[in-house]
């Protein structure tokens, strides 16, 4: 793999992290769920050991939540390319809500290249405070 190919994968995976935050804040749940591989899984920062598996189940989990106003900030994004079709990453997350229930934490991600492009195979959040 060339340096350019590695950098492109890093950029595409980092874009998924940012896009996830923006779509989440806009409550565009179908688009959020589409960022996952069909068999992808996620664990929210508030329940890091409670996995939700499969794109349809992820969509159902998001649509079941009561409406809220949020703003996610993601930073310190580091992507490690494992192969032409797999990467892992970590990012810091800061969440602001309209009710001042701010939270800070991180996401640990596993990315896979699919026929649709790069997607989350696994997204696990955790809270620091």
pLDDT digits (tens, 9 = 90+) for 7-58: 999 999 999 999 999 999 999 999 999 999 999 999 999 999 999 999 999 9
Is the confidence at residue 100, as pLDDT, over 80? no
Domain at 3-127: CATH code: 3.10.450.50
Sheet strands (E) in 64-116: 70-83, 86-97, 103-114
Give the predicted TM-score (pTM) of the model.
0.94
Alpha helix (H) ranges present in 1-129? 3-25, 29-33, 55-63
């Amino acid at each position: 793999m060339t340096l350019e190919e590695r950098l492109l994968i890093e950029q595409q995976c980092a874009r998924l992290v940012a896009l996830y935050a923006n779509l989440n804040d806009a409550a565009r749940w179908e688009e959020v769920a589409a960022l996952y591989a069909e068999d992808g899984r996620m664990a929210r920062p508030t329940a890091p050991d409670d996995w939700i598996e499969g794109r349809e189940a992820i969509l159902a989990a998001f649509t079941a939540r009561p409406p809220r106003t949020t703003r996610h900030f993601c930073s310190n994004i580091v992507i490690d390319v494992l192969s032409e079709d797999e990467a892992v990453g970590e990012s810091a997350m800061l969440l602001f809500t309209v009710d001042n229930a701010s939270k800070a934490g991180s996401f640990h991600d596993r990315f896979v290249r699919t026929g649709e492009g790069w997607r989350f195979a696994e997204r696990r959040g955790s809270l620091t405070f």
